[in-house]
Amino acid sequence: MTATTDGSTGALPPRAAAATDSTTAQSSTAPRSTTARPPLAEGEAPGALAAAERATARAAEHLLSLQDEQGWWKGDLETNVTMDAEDLLLRQFLGVQDEETTRAAALYIRSEQRPDGTWATFLGGPGELSTTIEAYVALRLAGDAPDAPHMAAASAWIREQGGIAASRVFTRIWLALFGWWKWEDLPELPPEIMFLPKWFPLNLYDFGQWARQTIVPLTVVSAKRPVRPAPFPLDELHTDPARPNPPRPLAPAASWDGAFQRLDAALHHYRRFPLRRLRRLALQQAARWIIERQENDGCWGGIQPPAVYSIIALHLLGYDLDHPVLREGLNSLDRFAVRREDGSRMIEACQSPVWDTCLATIALADAGVAPDHPALVKAADWMLDEQIDRTGDWAVRRPGLTPGGWAFEFHNDTYPDIDDTAEVVLALKRVRHPDPARVETAVRRAARWNLGMQSKNGAWGAFDADNTSTLPNRLPFCDFGEVVDPPSADVTAHVVEMLAFLGERHDPRTRRGVEWLLAEQEESGAWFGRWGVNYVYGTGSVLPALVAAGIPASHPAIRRAVRWLEAVQNDDGGWGEDLRSYRDAEWIGRGTSTASQTAWALMALLAAGEREGKAVERGVAWLVDTQRPDGSWDEPHFTGTGFPWDFSINYHLYRQVFPLTALGRYVHGELFTPDRLEA
């Protein structure tokens, strides 16, 4: 499957306005309201509401046109060029590179270079050292000369930043594969970690699922320390080629950094004299662990980084490239490639069909599309088929819990996530399905699973319960972003909202989630956004959940959040927040207005009863004014979060689903609420 750059799958052309029968014609064109339109607010211009209605209809029709014939939606998932650079490095390491793939990847990498010669991790962001190094090396592999102007600018900047020695561990691992860095100068990651009991600090399940899937194959790579012949030197990327890794003083022994540095030194010593039988058993256990978690499509966890490292690890353990496990693994990587009109090739770190489909279903339903519309029923059928009925790593901390969640991707039965599960339930409850008993069974299984994944503090993380150890982030090896999965406000809010819609707002477990959310509110009135940028996302997630759970709009926490949203609204009427808000408080709530972030703010304000407020009026006007003629919005900015600051995402369907949701709720008022459902 290959996606297109406008967020569509390319699988279907836009639907024709005319239909072949009266039923289809009624439901496949403009949305029809299922409730009486709310009266005009005092002073509200009829033309403004009419413009919002027209924008809603155009947006719904555009979103309907993007649905795949199987019922799902999927937009491009854009991250940064390390995905593309590492894809080329992997092909070089395995000896499977080809001219066309290399050319297309290099074309994309060059297109993302900034004028100063660097590469960033998000649009408008600063140059990032490791990303720039990996992009530079990939272009060298593609044949770009080091003295070419764009390459010389990159290498000069890299040296100014401290060279390869200052890059993150993962970058230096890739370079070590070709002898461009010494394995001895990397943190040790012994495969014997596989045998640490689940109660022991730093055991495998203390890491978040994304880190866990990456660490296991890297223990094999660390143990094997392979080196392929380097096709060229990289002296130009060192501040001093004669001393590429100048010594650094150890941190004080009493500090965490100092303690882990000394532990790493001990592990390096152990590597020279390992218990050979234990090492052999550990490598066998790692291989078994990796193979058991390969998905039906050949990938691992539905995400690209673990797939890349798993392929390398198994190859080092003797699996040849024709072995079914590796053959399917390599084939799966091609499905992460997005071909663009200019001939370039972008690699997605992950694919988001379940997430996109449930959000699209919610958006269309809230925009007034009939609940029995064929597109919504087809989406529901596809989501129902994707429900996971087998246990995964989450069962380590919740043994005996019956499965019932949904994952993010096409194929990922090992790692369902709590966030997707909550949103799929909210989507399914909006559809009038011809088999309501099937839907109800799936919803109850999902709710039971999500409730079982509640952490001890009353909140929810993304993939695991109580994944809250602070030690993994302190390891010298773990400098590539967040590696644990503690509860977050946005995920907890979505679960609370789901429970409220299921009539469980008075359940003690729901109330604990509400209490946790209220306690997590920042002094400013906002909530931190773990999986979206940032406080606008967190606040946009929490307010609808609190109101759905029965917190009145007059509650002090709601009023503080409203005041904060009003205070950070841009002069143009929209909302935006730059990713730098994760590091710099000056950026909190500040940034170029975007369609998705404006929609999040509007969804929060509408939930808080502010439909008649000036901020909502200006925000709706911004969405109406910036809509493109085809009903879509343009959004080059990154508003999704993988790891706060370290890994940012531009979900290409966010620009469509969230504005449509906000406009639909504005136009139709309380179209779909827990109270209406219970009634």
In sequence order, what are the beta bridge partners of 417?
Answer: 406
Tokens, residue 94: 């395995």
Look at residues 151, 129, 132 and name the one whose alpha carbon lies nearest to residue 140.
151
Burial of residue 242 (CB within 10 Å: 0-12, 13-18, 19+) is: exposed
- Cα separation, 663 vs 114, in Å, equals 35
- Cα separation, 592 vs 583, in Å, equals 17
Q: Are 616 and 666 in contact (CB under 8 A)?
A: yes
Which residue in 413, 419, 420, 578 is the catalytic one?
Answer: 419
- Cα separation, 211 vs 217, in Å, equals 11
Tokens, residue 128: 């990032």
Q: Which helix (H) or strand (E) holds 603?
A: helix 595-607
DSSP three-state, residue 647 = strand
Burial of residue 519 (CB within 10 Å: 0-12, 13-18, 19+) is: exposed
- Cα separation, 562 vs 646, in Å, equals 29
Burial of residue 520 (CB within 10 Å: 0-12, 13-18, 19+) is: middle
Q: Are 314 and 325 in contact (CB under 8 A)?
A: yes
Report the 10 Å Cβ neighbour count for 58: 20
Tokens, residue 451: 């409730």
User: Helices 595-607 and 654-668 sit at what angle, rounded to 10 degrees?
Assistant: 30
Whether 625 is catalytic is: no
DSSP three-state, residue 346 = strand
Look at residues 546, 532, 612, 545 and name the one whose alpha carbon lies nearest to residue 575.
532
Look at residues 214, 350, 226 and name the one whose alpha carbon lies nearest to residue 289.
214
Look at residues 315, 310, 300, 303 and name the one whose alpha carbon lies nearest to residue 95.
315
- Cα separation, 238 vs 266, in Å, equals 28
In sequence order, what are the beta bridge partners of 199?
Answer: none
Sign of CA dihedral 120, 88, 133, 262: positive
- Cα separation, 488 vs 490, in Å, equals 6
DSSP state of 463: S
- Tell me the one-letter amino acid at 54: R
Burial of residue 249 (CB within 10 Å: 0-12, 13-18, 19+) is: exposed
Instruction: Write the DSSP string, 358-424.
Output: HHHHHHHHHTT--TT-HHHHHHHHHHHHH---S--GGGGTSTTPPP--B-SSSS-SS--BHHHHHHH
| Catalytic residue positions, numbered | 419
